[in-house]
Structure 1
């Protein structure tokens, strides 16, 4: 993620800022340029001060303070590149559900920042009615009879609204013995399944992928039951980035995909701050790194991983000094790095494909009470 600068007063801005804390100008994100721009009212819509363009309008979800992205040039109504992929959203007349949905949108927009930066092919349900990417944000049955499960099914990503509650998410993290559980992590993992469909299965790379992640034809339901009944293998850390990745090659790919997004986006932020790791106590030199490159355009994955390992060692040490959990509580062994490298090359190849995001198949609606299993 980048740091942004206010075009009026040069104040440093963050991706989620809606207004500049110094000069008060309203801000909007321009997805086609990946720039957060100060804006001013124009005769029609808004004028973007980054390029002095006029006639720009906000995504319809700005009405609910759930989005500050601009529509495409020439569009006056509808949804932005990120929100066009929304299917079902929570009940916005319920303040708690509205607040939860806003938290989900923060994570979803960070996801789309990455997808747009890479120019990855992402189709809506209008373009591909059967497999287009669509998000349903569902609340549990109010009488407690049915719980929503976060998961993926042929381009349909279901995110449980309950995950937006910090207490509930932490309860589930502890219950499932996970070192890391965030909303952004959910989005990155689930969209990994979508891109397995698009960049592996539909792109004729099944055999390449199987050579790295294993045979995906094994029964998924049985693999899932085995994982929850028996747990991961004792030596799982030798070959997998997480315990859940051991469940099935699909989950291994999705977990690895999510970690690749974690690594690249975090390193971009480190680069924006000009972070350099050079501990005097390091006599060997293995913990030295200068994060001064753009990981989104790095061709060689070794450049990325060679910066990531010293950076996370430093950040984990800082977190421990504060009595907090490690920022990145995972071990990257050579086999795991090999899998990440596969995803890196897959992303770079997939970025050559073009896609145009269209309007959503139907307006955002109240949640349907259905349960979608992870897949």
Structure 2
């Protein structure tokens, strides 16, 4: 994620900022420019970019709930931004719990869409593609008459992504993470993983890449239901760490792809953030852990370039976390087999496969 600068006063600003902390100017992310801009108010809900006054926008319709800080072109017919227009079922903003959930969910969703926009990846709506367009349902848990709570399920099917809204709450999500023995579980991780299934549909299945996919990930025609059942009942293969980024990735080629897609974005976007802050890893006497980002991670040559930069950063960040007594930031191992899968993802994202 980049750092930005207020067009009005030059103050450093961040991706989620609504107003400049220095001058108080209204800020918004303008998707067609992939940047945060200071705005000056015009007439009838129209706003002018201070850096380009002829560029006129309107705020996303979710702005009034303080849910979204993105814009839409002033002359268009859309009322929701390029991220929010994919939402179908959303939390109840009339309740404190629902509003809090929606704000946390939207923050993660906008971080996902930043990456999709940077790469120009598919993001068709259901209006454009009724059978396979990307659409999100943020589902509430079912409470039975006796008070028993039935958790909503997170998953994907033909472009429909369902995400359990309750996991916007840190306590709820952490309970699930511990109960499932997962080293990492975040709302942003859900978005990136589940969207990986949609990207597989559009760029692998429909993109004439199935043979290349099967050579790298295995045959996705293996029974999916049986694979998941076996994973939950028996666990992953004993040597899973040599071949997979996570135990869930070991369950089926579809899940392997989705997990690797999520990790590819984790790595790229975190490296962009490190580059924006001018971070360098250069431990004295440990040249194998040296890393300086002299390239744009979103335009990396290949996955190897990304991994070579990422490993020193992840080791340093994990060590810092341990010094604070908190879990590792990135508790995963990038083996040669996993790097080969990340290279396939890289090729799909950049149209090189």
Q: 1:372 matched to which residue of 2?
A: none
The equivalences for 1:157-172 within 5 A come to 157-172=161-176
In structure 2, the residue matched to 1:253 is 257
Partner of 1:140: 141
- 1:348 aligns with 350
Deviation readout 1:209-253 (Å, 9 max, x if unpaired): 011001100111111110000011111100000011011000000
TM-score normalised by structure 2 residue count: 0.96
Partner of 1:42: 42
**What is the Cα deviation at residue 187 of structure 1?**
0.2
Report the equivalent of 2:9: 9
- Partner of 1:373 in structure 2? none
1:57-206 equivalences under 5 Å are 57-75=58-76, 78-143=79-144, 144=148, 146-206=150-210
Q: CA RMSD in A?
A: 1.4
Alpha-carbon distance in 1 for matches of 2:134, 2:78: 21
Aligned to 2:33: 33
* Structure 1 stretches of 4+ moved >4 Å: none
Counterpart-to-counterpart distance in 2, 1:341 and 1:328: 19
Q: Distance in 1 between matches of 2:294 and 2:17?
A: 24
Using the alignment, how far apart are the partners of 2:282 and 2:238 within structure 1?
35
Cα displacement (A) at 1:299: 2.3
**Inter-partner Cα distance in structure 2 for 1:333 and 1:78:** 45
Matched, 1:56 2:57: yes
**Larger displacement relative to structure 2 (144-153 or 16-25):** 144-153
Count of residues in Structure 1 that have an aligned counterpart in Structure 2: 349
More helix by share: 2
1:314 counterpart = 2:328: no
User: Which aligned pairs between 1:260-299 and structure 2 lie closer than 5 A?
Assistant: 260-282=264-286, 285-299=287-301
Query: Is the alpha carbon distance of 1:54 and 1:120 closer, same or farther for their aligned partners in structure 2, counting shifts above 3 Å?
Result: closer
Where relative contact order (Cα < 8 A, 6+ residues apart) is larger, the structure is 1
**Partner SS, residue 8 of structure 1:** coil
Instruction: State the Cα distance separating 1:145 from its structure 2 match.
Output: 5.2
Aligned to 1:362: none
Q: Secondary structure at the match of 2:298?
A: coil
Q: Do the aligned partners of 2:56 and 2:73 also contact (CA within 8 Å) in 1?
A: no
Q: Check the 8 A contact 2:268/2:298 in 1, yes or no.
A: yes
Instruction: Report the Cα distance in structure 2 between the residues aligned to 1:210 and 1:21, rounded to whole angstroms.
Output: 51
Counterpart secondary structure, 1:302: helix
Which structure has more strand as a fraction of its residues? 2
Residue 103 of structure 1 aligns to a residue whose secondary structure is helix
Does the 8 Å CA contact 1:56/1:75 hold for their aligned counterparts?
A: no
Cα distance, 1:350 vs structure 2: 8.1
